[in-house]
Amino acid sequence: MEFGPIVRALSRNRMRTLLIVLQIGITLAVIANAVTMIKGHRAKMQKESGFDDDNLLWVHSKPYAETYNERSFRITTTQADVRALNGIPGVTAASNTNFVPWQGGGSSTEAKVAGGDGTKVRMQAYVTSPQILDTLGVHLVSGRALRDSDLDLDPKSTKSTVIISRALEQLMFKGKSAVGQQLLESDNSVDTIVGVFDKFYNPYGFPIHEYTYFADGIASYGGARYLVHVEPGKMKQVIPEIEKRLLQVNDGRTFEFKTINEIKNQYFTESRIVIGAMTAVILLLVIVTGLGIVGVTSFAVTERRKQIGTRRALGATKPAILRYFLLENWIITNTGLLLGIAMAYGLNYLLVTKAEGDKLDWRFVVAGVVLLWLQGIIATLAPATRAAAVSPVIATRAV
């Protein structure tokens, strides 16, 4: 092997070597960290809500008719709306609820177990009509679902019927069943738990993403909101039909429609920007450094045409020349990668402490190393082949 001559040749061309080493080093550092960032944001986006997000629609009825100032009118209209929605072909289930998945917030309350140790727990709190489980596509684990007869319309009432998420049951009742138990809220209202469902995940400002209850009630203040579960692929047809049917119920209002995926996309704007940009950076980096290696190796070949000719004249075969350049590049690449591994961890430390990010996963570093090895070989191949094609005659023409 030509290790000796290669290393000596490289040490004569320190600048050229340094250029590639640095380029490969920084490239590895950037790629490994970019992949880590992409993975972190992917994980956030792929977190399952437990709901059938793809087929859920949010409908906001925005009333302007003054009759809506009457509470009783709001209630009867809302109930009529729910009946109308559930009768539309293509709609599998619809609920009146103030819960909107994936908007990064909602409403919350604090409550303790009646007869418990008094620990107050913060949880998301929503009111809904009874169809909520079918609408979201979540399953009842124990107890029963909400019913129409649970509805208590007395405005002074401090009692309500609720179903809670399994995560909340585990947190508050420590493995025992919550069905039949009661929650005491800080406004002195009492919630009787009749059922437990799974799964529920809705990112919130406080760390209570998986804890929630749904209380039987009417959500109509500021305009009733509905969640509608649609048969797969029917979203486009169903929306105008919903508008038509609800206007038949009452036409003193306008409507806003949003699919849950639109709301989710908005919530994940930052993640989508990071993923898109970092993917572009990785692709472009591979191309840019690839071109760089081609350029510098070509230059190294041109500069040494005479030496190559001499070697050929003295008996070196074409494969020997090819091997020489591939090996030279391999040594440079490895030096760069060694530097790159150190830089990747250094950059990761800075990102984690000064900006944001997860700890670097060593597997991404390994993947980056393999990628850059391959890239090095491919990028060197063309110039090295040209080097091998240098005619021995060159030697006789030299100075």
Q: Is 33 helix (H, G, I), strand (E, B) or coil?
A: helix
Please classify residue 118 by burial: count the beta carbons closer than 10 Å to its beta carbon, then call 0-12 exposed, 13-18 middle and 19+ buried.
exposed
* Per-residue contact string for residues 316-355; x = within reach of another protein by CB under 8 A: -------------------------------x--xx--xx
Tell the smallest beta-carbon distance from residue 268 to another protein (Å): 10
| Residue nearer to another protein on the CB measure, 60 or 199 | 60
* Per-residue contact string for residues 28-67; x = within reach of another protein by CB under 8 A: -xx--xx--x------------------------xxxxx-
Q: At what angle do helices 14-46 and 362-388 cross, to 10 degrees?
A: 140
- Regarding 314 and contact with another protein (CB under 8 A), the answer is no
Residues 248-287 interacting with another protein (rule: CB under 8 A): 252, 254, 269-270, 272-274, 277-278, 280-281, 284-285
Identify whether the C-beta of residue 39 lies closer than 8 Å to the C-beta of residue 358.
yes
Q: Which residues have C-beta within 8 Å of that of residue 112, sequence separation ≥ 6?
A: 118, 119, 120, 121, 183, 184
Q: What is the 3-state secondary structure (H, E, C) of 234-264?
A: CHHHHHHHHHHHHHHHCCCEEEEEEEHHHHH
| Residue nearer to another protein on the CB measure, 27 or 333 | 27
Distance CA 30, CA 18 (A): 18
Tell the smallest beta-carbon distance from residue 31 to another protein (Å): 10
Please classify residue 13 by burial: count the beta carbons closer than 10 Å to its beta carbon, then call 0-12 exposed, 13-18 middle and 19+ buried.
middle
For residue 374, CA distances in Å to 270, 290, 350, 377 come to: 32, 10, 28, 5
- Regarding 298 and contact with another protein (CB under 8 A), the answer is yes
Identify whether the C-beta of residue 108 lies closer than 8 Å to the C-beta of residue 237.
no
- Regarding 146 and contact with another protein (CB under 8 A), the answer is no
* Per-residue contact string for residues 219-238; x = within reach of another protein by CB under 8 A: --xxx---------------
Size of the site for another protein (CB under 8 A): 67
Q: Which residues have C-beta within 8 Å of that of residue 52, sequence separation ≥ 6?
A: 136, 137, 229
| Residue nearer to another protein on the CB measure, 116 or 295 | 295
Residues 92-111 interacting with another protein (rule: CB under 8 A): 105, 110
- Regarding 23 and contact with another protein (CB under 8 A), the answer is yes
Residues 149-188 interacting with another protein (rule: CB under 8 A): 155-156, 186-188
Q: Which residues have C-beta within 8 Å of that of residue 72, sequence separation ≥ 6?
A: none
Identify whether the C-beta of residue 269 lies closer than 8 Å to the C-beta of residue 102.
no
| Residue nearer to another protein on the CB measure, 140 or 352 | 352
Tell the smallest beta-carbon distance from residue 86 to another protein (Å): 25
Distance CA 361, CA 364 (A): 6
Chain position carrying tokens 């809670």: 164
- Give the β-pairing of 121-128 and 212-216: parallel
| Residue nearer to another protein on the CB measure, 64 or 319 | 64
Tell the smallest beta-carbon distance from residue 201 to another protein (Å): 15
Site residues (vs another protein, CB under 8 A): 15-16, 19-20, 22-23, 26-27, 29-30, 33-34, 37, 62-66, 69, 105, 110, 120, 122, 155-156, 186-188, 204-207, 221-223, 252, 254, 269-270, 272-274, 277-278, 280-281, 284-285, 288-289, 291-292, 295-296, 298-299, 302-303, 347, 350-351, 354-357, 397, 399
